[in-house]
Chain A
Amino acid sequence: MVYDENWEAVIGLEVHCQLLTKTKIFSGASTTYGAAPNTQADAVTLGLPGVLPVLNATALQMAVKFGLAVDAQVAERCVFARKHYFYPDLPKGYQISQYELPIVANGHLDIELGEGQIKRIGITRAHMEEDAGKSLHEGFVGASGIDLNRAGTPLIEIVSEPDIRTAAEAVAYLKKLHQLVVYLGICDGNMQEGSFRCDANVSVRRRGTEKFGTRTETKNVNSFRYVEKAIEYEIGRQIDVIESGGTIVQETRLFDPGTGETRSMRTKEDANDYRYFPDPDLLPVVVTTDDIERVRATMPELPEAKRNRFMEQYALPKYDATVLTGEQALADYYEAVVKASGADPKICSNWITTDLLGALNKIGKDITESPVGAEMMAGLIARIVDKTISGKIAKDVFEAMLAGEGTADEIIQAKGLVQITDESAIEKVIDEVIAANPAQLEQYRSGKDKLFGFFVGQVMRASRGKANPDAVNRLLKDKLAG
């Protein structure tokens, strides 16, 4: 979308990221998604009288891991605070969160805009908190249902600086953040199930002015596309309001994916006074340098570093390296194939980025569910490299592998696809083809070079694709020359 170039948007994102712990942030109840309502609500989750929270150490380690990954300060001492408001899916009447002393502060994430342009987006803070439950309004008459399975699931809320200027930058930031938390193994990144949720703070100002405009917060925009649409809409709406003489009201808005519009949910006037104060049930959390170093030792290679290494170590073009390092599992798959096949890394990359990813996309599976594992893929590529089969035959073998017909060797064996490299055998086929096509031979010899391809095709067909293409080319050229 193009808006008046006299205007500039100022955008900050708040991302709620569910941490991938087995149990809840303050109790031993399971966090698995999709269980029957309230079956994962133990006494602590229900907020029964007398229960107390105990911090899940794994959740803390994951938050620290995130802090290290965005080059932030990890607080030596952080404090949990209670944030009060009444809502039926908030069992205690307060959410345990962090307020004045969050676990992570002052980090950043670099995003790539077009033509290799890099922009640094500041991360103000990331704090730990518990998720709320869910209110269910459908399927009940004259009542609402409450499902507390999600209540108490650990979250980190990642707050960016208002460094983002366009919807496209917002999406680039969000995708980068998403990739990072999945890479770190601290979030499953499932946006549909709400594991990774985004609220967008948007304001506009006349280009050249320093003062921020009044901002609105758009809640729960839960796909990259919706984030883009919601921000675009909100920027356009705000400009329209101001240009037609109105003022922007500080408010919370809700994005409607149906219409692509945002609408007012509540204004600042009815905002809650959250009455934050340090939770007396939880001691301040002390993170020592040793603790941080222990977490650092478990840090995986991060996407950027991995991409750069792939470009260097495997001499891959930037495009290939970027695709292959998009997901940790894919990068691991690629490296396993290169190692096991001993083949040219670029050939491996071609097979994976084009054939494999294309096929997976078609059947709607991700790399971890691929019917062709890394070992199998390496087996196929190895047969190309040792000239057992041609690249063309290999495509058929790959199809058969996808269909579950076995390994490359099994399929080659069963279908008799071994490449013919015996030159006398190839010559015999060539002779037969030439003998059967005297007219074309005549035309070729009188200068119609294009017919060379016709002869190659005939030879390959006659050999049922098994003739070694290099040998066919060489021998055919000699024979046709006469």
Chain B
Amino acid sequence: MRAGPGPGVHPGDIAFKYEPMHTLSIKALGEGLKTKKFSSRELTQHYLSRIERHDPALNSYITVTAEQALAQADAADARLAAGEAGPLTGIPLAQKDIFCTAGVRTSCASKMLDNFVAPYNATIVDKLHGADGAGMVMLGKCNMDEFAMGSSNETSWYGPVKNPWDTGRVPGGSSGGSVAAVAAGLAPAATATDTGGSIRQPAALTNLTGIKPTYGRVSRYGMIAFASSLDQAGVVARTAEDAAYVLQAMSGFDPRDSTSVERPVDDLVGGLERPIKGLRIGLPKEYFAEGLADGARERVMAAVEQLRSMGAEIVEISLPNSPLSVPTYYVVAPAEASSNLSRYDGVRYGHRAEGIKTLEELYKRSRGEGFGAEVQRRIMVGTYVLSHGYYDAYYLQAQKVRKLIYDDFRRAFESVDLVLGPTATDVAFELGSKTDDPVAMYLNDIYTIAANLAGIPAMSLSCGFVDGLPVGLQLMGNYFDEARLLNVAHQYQLATDWHQQHPRGFE
């Protein structure tokens, strides 16, 4: 779908005929900048204008950093002119508001951090936007579920994000702002984070490609912690190729993160073109059991047939402990969250209640006012499972089950190269439809959580539509096999055009 100038499109947005910049791939944007078809300033201005026009309907950005973006664009243009540009120099990008950005508010979509301006950059922010980094232009900070806790982007202090495919529906969460912005053409790509599915489920619900790499592949330094042993940064983009470019620039060892892994990064872009013939893809029967909507099942099975037709070998496998992943996750993640969120006490930064008289009141009221209901619920659950006398029954037990889930994958990857399944049980649901039922909300992540518990890389890409709403296909790989995941996704996207569909009203 290539839209020319028409109603609703401002003539100033169009840099050259018939190809609006916001429909171009990252590779094409890079070429356009290098060949001077447009400047980074023009490209950045184009996106800023689109944000101004379309974001009021979506609420995908918490903060738009227009001035800083244009300054970065000018710096990029200078680098381009001097011939010092890399493949991403001057290309805009949106940051999830969970990554610390020096001088720019980093809120984590919480009232608690509404007034917090980080004095430092997250490692990936330096890598992507820093003077020695990839030279990308930061458009702003994307909305999300508060402290990344949620599957619908309805827990944000800044209000819910709307799905560009149907603004009455949720975009998924917690990276709801990142996916809505990219799906609506308000950023070519965006960073995101995934603790239990927060990259993949929203990507699935908005027709995007999102990848959560192996735990330890991307630095967590400067990424506000939710559940430290599960959190991993990644990217959402329109295609596997776009995602490969950005992930390549984000990945790598960081001496400031003890859990990051000292191991060279594969050539993700270079690996995209490999044929997939002979690849063994496992379908875990547990991922196709009761609970998966018929429409989604059909679309995923059609994708399986497509991959089979391209030479992949499809085998049924079993991940017997996967039904335990949701309960395990909802012990481990809240436990770590209750600890990580202890630092928000109103003493040094963040929200502090007014009119307090005692230290205890300072803590209770600052935290009671600063955190939303879902965050408080998880802090309470986490505190409970770590308490004296309950630790063994909950936290320790959950760690044992986690090991079993890890073992399931280890066994699976002895016989298959990839594991394939649905990303979510169904298409995007209506705003407000699950907010009163936390358990129903938690079950959104039933297919995505296991990858976080095991630490393996996983991604979601679009495999079609049901009633005009996108359905996501999930691929899970062995440790550090991001290149293979992106390769298979890219080959699938070469053969299909689901990913090229754009939501109406945002052309």
Q: Which residues of A are at the interface with B, using a C-beta cutoff of 8 A?
A: 43, 46-55, 82, 84, 86, 88, 91-94, 146, 273, 275-277, 280-283
Closest approach, in angstroms, between the C-beta of B117 and any C-beta of chain A?
11
Q: Besides A88-B347, A93-B342, 8 other CB < 8 A contacts?
A: A50-B106, A51-B221, A53-B258, A54-B257, A91-B347, A275-B387, A276-B386, A283-B259
With contact pairs A49-B106, A50-B221 given, residues A277 and B122 touching in the complex (Cβ less than 8 Å): no
Question: Quick one: closest B residue to A27, CB to CB?
Answer: B256
Is B383 close to A, CB under 8 A?
A: yes
> Is A49 touching B113 in the complex (CB atoms < 8 A)?
yes
Q: Is the CB of A50 within 8 A of B225?
A: yes
Contacts of B348 in A (CB 8 A): 46-47, 91, 146
A84-B342 in contact (CB<8A): yes
A88 to B347, CA, bound (A): 7
Residue B16, interface by CB 8 Å? no
Given A48-B118, A49-B224, A50-B122, A280 and B229 contact (CB-CB distance below 8 Å): yes
Chain B residue with the shortest CB-CB distance to A274: B388
Residues of chain A contacted by B339 (CB below 8 angstroms): 82, 84, 93-94, 275, 277
Does B224 contact A52, Cβ atoms closer than 8 Å?
A: no
Give CA–CA (A48, B121) in the complex, Å. Answer: 12
Q: Which one of A84, A273, A275, A282 has the greatest number of beta carbons of chain B within 10 Å?
A: A275
Residue of A43, A54, A82 near B258 (CB, 8 A) is A54
Which residue on A lies nearest to B260, using beta carbons? A52
With A43-B120, A88-B347, A275-B383 known to touch, is A52 a contact of B395 (CB < 8 Å)? no
B347 touches A146 (CB 8 A): yes
B106-154, CB < 8 A from A: 106, 108, 113, 116, 118-120, 122
Q: Is the CB of B258 within 8 A of A273?
A: no
Please determine whether A50 and B258 come into contact, CB atoms closer than 8 angstroms. no
- What's the Cα separation between A94 and B228 when bound, in Å? 15
With an 8 A cutoff between CB atoms, is B426 at the interface? Answer: no
Are B116 and A281 in touch, CB under 8 angstroms? no
Contact B359 A88 (CB under 8 A): yes
Cα distance A53–B259 when bound, in Å? 10
B90 to chain A, nearest CB (A): 27
C-alpha gap A49/B220 in the complex (Å): 11
A48 vs B224: C-alpha distance when bound (angstroms):
9
How far apart are B140's CB and chain A's nearest CB, in angstroms? 18
The answer to whether A93 and B345 touch across the interface, beta carbons within 8 angstroms, is: yes
- Alpha-carbon distance A54/B383, docked complex (angstroms): 25
A55 to B257 alpha-carbon distance, docked (Å): 10
The answer to whether A50 and B387 have CB atoms under 8 Å apart is no
Per a CB cutoff under 8 Å, which of A50, A54, A82, A94 touches B100? A50
- A-side interface mostly: loop
A-B contact pairs, 15 of them (CB 8 A): A48-B120, A49-B116, A50-B100, A50-B122, A50-B222, A52-B257, A88-B345, A88-B359, A273-B387, A275-B386, A276-B386, A280-B229, A280-B259, A281-B228, A283-B259
A92 to B225 CA separation, bound complex (whole angstroms) = 12
Contacts of A53 in B (CB 8 A): 258
* Residues of B with C-beta under 8 A to A52: 220-221, 256-259
- Determine whether the beta carbon of A273 is less than 8 Å from that of B388: yes
A-side contacts of B387, CB under 8 Å: 273, 275
In the bound complex, CA of A117 to CA of B106 (Å): 64
Compute how far the CA of A39 lies from the CA of B147 in the bound complex, rounded to whole angstroms: 30
Contacts of B386 in A (CB 8 A): 84, 275-277
Nearest 7 A/B pairs, CB to CB: A93-B342, A280-B229, A280-B228, A275-B386, A50-B222, A49-B224, A47-B343
Task: Give chain A nearest CB distance to B13 CB in angstroms.
Answer: 35
Residue of B nearest to A55 (CB): B258
Cα distance, A282 to B257, chains bound together (Å): 9
- Cβ distance A142 to chain B, nearest Cβ, rounded Å: 10
> Do A92 and B342 touch (CB < 8 A)?
yes
**Chain A CB within 8 A of B336 CB:** yes
Q: Does B335 contact A (CB under 8 A)?
A: yes
Determine if B223 is an interface residue (Cβ-Cβ < 8 Å).
Answer: yes
Instruction: Please determine whether B343 and A54 come into contact, CB atoms closer than 8 angstroms.
Output: no
Give A93 to B343 CA distance when docked, in angstroms: 5
Q: Bound state CA distance, A281 and B220, in angstroms?
A: 10
A121 to B383, CA, bound (A): 38
Instruction: Tell me the bound Cα distance from A51 to B254 in angstroms.
Output: 12
Answer whether residue B38 sits at the interface, using C-beta atoms and an 8 A cutoff. Answer: no
Query: Residue B330 at the A interface, CB < 8 A?
Result: no
- Residues on B with beta carbons closer than 8 Å to the beta carbon of A92: 342-343
B359 to chain A: closest residue by CB: A88
How far, in whole Å, are A275 and B379 apart by their CA atoms in the complex? 13
A93 CB, nearest partner CB in chain B, Å: 3
A223 to B471, CA, bound (A): 70
Q: State whether the Cβ of B255 lies closer than 8 Å to any Cβ in chain A.
A: yes
* Interchain CB contact under 8 A, B258 and A49: no
Tell me if A86 and B342 are in contact (CB < 8 A).
yes
A283-B127 Cα distance, complex, nearest whole Å: 24
Question: What residues of chain A lie closer than 8 Å to B343, measured between beta carbons?
Answer: 47, 49, 91-93
With both beta carbons as reference points, the residue of chain B lying nearest to A146 in the complex is identified as: B347
Q: Tell me whether A49 and B100 are in contact in the complex, defined as CB-CB below 8 angstroms, given that A55-B258, A283-B259 are known contacts.
A: yes
Q: Please, how many angstroms separate the alpha-carbon atoms of A276 and B390 in the complex?
A: 12
Nearest CB on A from B134, distance (A): 20
Any A CB within 8 A of the CB of B479: no
Asked if residues B223 and A50 are in contact (CB atoms below 8 Å), the reply is yes
Q: Decide: B347 and A281 in contact? CB cutoff 8 A.
A: no
Which residues of chain B are within 8 angstroms of A86 by Cβ–Cβ distance? 342, 345, 363
Instruction: Considering the complex, give the chain B residue whose CB is closest to the CB of A272.
Output: B388
Name which residue of chain A comes closest to B384, CB basis: A275
User: A302 vs B99: C-alpha distance in the bound complex, in angstroms?
Assistant: 50
CA A94 to CA B227, docked complex, whole Å: 15
- Knowing A49-B116, A146-B347, A277-B335, the reply to whether A54 touches B256 (Cβ < 8 A) is yes
Q: In the complex, how many angstroms separate the beta carbon of B104 from the nearest chain A beta carbon?
A: 13
Q: Which residues of A contact B224 (CB under 8 A)?
A: 49-50
On whether the beta carbons of B335 and A49 are closer than 8 Å, the reply is no
Chain A residues, CB < 8 A from B359: 88
Contacts of A146 in B (CB 8 A): 347-348
B498 in contact (CB, < 8 A): no
Give chain B interface residues in 393-450, CB to chain A under 8 Å.
395
Query: Does the CB pair A43–B119 fall under 8 Å?
Result: yes
Bound-state Cα–Cα, A273 to B386, Å: 9
Interface flag for B391 (CB, 8 Å): yes
Contacts of B256 in A (CB 8 A): 52, 54
A276→B100 CA distance, assembly (Å): 28
Nearest CB in chain A: distance from B225 CB, A: 7
Q: Which residue of B lies closest to A86 (CB)?
A: B363
Asked if B119 and A48 make an inter-chain contact with CB atoms under 8 angstroms apart, the answer reads yes
What distance in Å separates the Cβ of A451 from its nearest Cβ neighbour in chain B? 83
Which residues of chain B from 322 to 361 have a CB within 8 Å of any chain A CB? 335-336, 338-339, 342-343, 345, 347-349, 359
Instruction: Write out the residue numbers on chain A whose beta carbons fall within 8 Å of the beta carbon of B391.
Output: 275-277
Q: What's the least CB distance linking B198 to chain A, in Å?
A: 16
Q: Closest CB of chain B to A260's CB: distance in Å?
A: 30
Q: How far does the alpha carbon of A53 sit from the alpha carbon of B343 in the complex, in Å?
A: 14
Report Cα–Cα, A88/B349, bound state, in Å.
12
